[in-house]
Structure 1
């Protein structure tokens, strides 16, 4: 009962602030991507070199093509081998969102699609960020540690000018 009540309270807090927070304020902007020509072996090397679990697959121009998760990599490695192209194992049709949208819209998309991540795009459809469940959790931890004092995006104290 306690865990269910805690989860409900956290969901209420997320809904409360998500209408006023922009995706660009809390998205991941430093992350590894995989080129569409990469193999599962290349993806495993990237997995082991980072702390990421989800890897956007992009074309040469930086356009989002799909998402390869850690589980997708392991499954492809077991079933098809290390030379399998990542495009054969990646998830397609994942939701994308413009970086100037509100967080509440990305939350809705994540829930509706049951997606582990959402690709955040700029006006030219280039991948500029990634929104994950972990990102949202980190935002809530920061907010809980400094209620009313942190403005997302710049992590400045309210009222300061810089």
Structure 2
């Protein structure tokens, strides 16, 4: 997600703050300062920061459980509507997805129990009804209980929706389960938007997020279904123009202007793949360093894909590394193509209107 700032790193996962979270803090601080002075502003900001500490711990519950199944999480992003842990992939087995989904809410259950034990608190409607005048510990208890209840609403792709999808997948298969869970999630999204119109605008934002996230998850499931049957060679752009690392950037610009290709494998003197140069890097290099700079100085490192590799594994690897294009090599290590996100997106569009389209190439 763009417009975010890295504030720390824990066990290989970057913790990032979206800029809207910072604006939210400023807005809360200024509003409470105007209403009640410095003490009120400090109390509100402290409370918000502690709430988002609980949200962060919630996300690390998902992250820790996912790691048990060999799934890395490059980053977690905090925004005013909650946290998003960017798992490199979802578990393939329904039981594993169930455990990953439930791990987050269980962290909030643990926090609530600790608050109750440490401060002698109890969960009652009276405390919730007088939220503003409650102690800090009481408010945090209410927030954590609310997080548990809210996240377990079966609105896919929220935690409760993922629990629902996992349970459905145990009986009907992943793709059908995802489609049904996504429909239910979209139904809840419309309900949130409707409630937001009359009660709280934040619910409208959550509803919109759930709708688009559920749609994206359904599309991803559909892609996984057909991509797992295809190889990288079926989706790549074959016979790419090759560049040498010692050539001047002028040569790359000429290739860019004379062909539709936008990404170029880069070879060393021994004809081995050493990198990949894309259009954006070319333009930045041209602007900042001039046309005489060598291709090797502006390219990025490459981790080539194999032509016989499954398309879903290749896509997962590309997404995990955060790259939109990669060099494809044959069994002898020779570059034979380029795989890009655009290639994959075009295949998804074809599949969406003509399921079962034959993509395989000889």
TM bin (shorter chain): 0.7 to 0.9
1:4 to 197, 213, 233: 213
Could you give the per-residue CA deviations for residues 101-139 of structure 1, whole angstroms, max 9, x where no partner exists?
Answer: 101110111111101212111111111111110010111
Partner of 1:19: 228
Which structure carries more strand by proportion? 1
**How many angstroms does 1:49 deviate by?**
1.4
List gaps (5 residues or longer) in structure 2.
1-207
Tell which has more relative contact order, 1 or 2 (C-alpha 8 A, sep 6+).
1
Q: Distance in 1 between matches of 2:255 and 2:345?
A: 24
SS across alignment from 2:338? strand
Who wins on radius of gyration, i.e. which is larger?
2
Q: Distance in 2 between matches of 1:19 and 1:70?
A: 29
**How many angstroms does 1:62 deviate by?**
4.5
* Total equivalences in the alignment: 153
Q: What TM-score results when the alignment is normalised by the length of structure 1?
A: 0.84
Is the Cα contact below 8 Å between 2:263 and 2:338 reproduced in 1?
Answer: no
Cα separation, partners in 2 of 1:41 and 1:71, compared to 1, 3 Å: same
CA RMSD of aligned residues (A): 2.0
Q: Distance in 1 between matches of 2:222 and 2:278?
A: 28
- After superposing on structure 2, the runs of 4+ consecutive aligned residues of structure 1 that deviate more than 4 Å are none
Which structure carries more helix by proportion? 2
1:76 aligned to 2:285? yes
Partner of 1:160: none
List gaps (5 residues or longer) in structure 1.
156-162
Is the Cα contact below 8 Å between 1:25 and 1:152 reproduced in 2?
Answer: yes
Q: Distance in 1 between matches of 2:304 and 2:361?
A: 23
1:97 aligned to 2:305? yes
**How many angstroms does 1:10 deviate by?**
1.9
Partner of 1:159: none
